[in-house]
Amino acid sequence: MNIFTRLSDDEFKKLIKPLLEYAGGYAFSIVRNREDAEDAVQDALLKAYRELKSYDCSRSFKSWWFTIIRNCCLDLLRKRRVRSTSDDIDMDDLPSLEVNKQKELEQDEEISWALNQLAPEHRQIIELRYFGDCSYLEIAEALNIPEGTVMSRLYSARKALTDIYRKEKENGKNR
């Protein structure tokens, strides 16, 4: 974007608003706490507004926005590392859950636990695909890798997740 391209407040809102819900879920998948996720999205919003000049119009806006969210989440995690001692997600924080469905809740906990066992590069791609609802092209741009690598990495991540999930079930762990 050149220095003359200045989006108005309304135009900026128009770009961000449709992506806010995914932003919430994506941030939640990284920081694993709703309050922190909200803080991270707010930080990302300010950062995106300030750094809009650095956005390259030839790339997807969503990829750029999700990269900022990820960086803000990681900053927040670094700052609050002392606070987050548990690996497991706080299920009380899950928004709009029908928490009385015990079986469903257990399954969610299993998925959450399995996601946490993944290698960082696998977890990152799963988060962008499912929580950020990103296409292969958007993931490629966000991670700066070719689309073919996105396909193979996503496949490996799913295989790894299936293996973890299977082992978890075999061991009969209840998380």
Partner 1 sequence: MEKIDRAKISALIDGELSKEEAELVHKAIMEDESLRKEYEEISKLNGELKSYAQKVMFQPKVTFPKSSTSLNIPVPIMIFAILILRLFLKLIPSVIGSCLEIIVLGLVVTLLLQYLIRVSDQERQILLNR
Residues that bind partner 1 in the complex, under the rule CB under 8 A:
1-9, 11-16, 20-25, 27-29, 34, 37-38, 41-42, 45-46, 49-50, 57, 60-61, 94-97, 107-108, 111-112, 126, 129-131, 133, 135-136, 151-152, 154-156, 158, 161-162, 165
d(CA 86, CA 104): 21
Minimal distance, residue 90 CB to partner 1, in Å: 11
d(CA 72, CA 169): 34
Are 99 and 1 in contact, with CB atoms under 8 Å apart? no
3-state helix, strand, coil in the chain (%, to 5): 70, 0, 30
d(CA 6, CA 4): 6
Minimal distance, residue 24 CB to partner 1, in Å: 4
- Nearer to partner 1 among residue 74 and residue 151 (C-beta): 151
- Nearer to partner 1 among residue 58 and residue 85 (C-beta): 58
Q: What is the dihedral of CA 67, 73, 78, 79, to 10 degrees?
A: 130
Minimal distance, residue 142 CB to partner 1, in Å: 15
- Nearer to partner 1 among residue 20 and residue 119 (C-beta): 20
Residue 126, both tokens: 């799963």
Query: What single-letter DSSP state applies at residue 125?
Result: H
- Nearer to partner 1 among residue 53 and residue 83 (C-beta): 53
Minimal distance, residue 85 CB to partner 1, in Å: 21
Minimal distance, residue 121 CB to partner 1, in Å: 15
Amino acid at 47: K
- Nearer to partner 1 among residue 158 and residue 175 (C-beta): 158
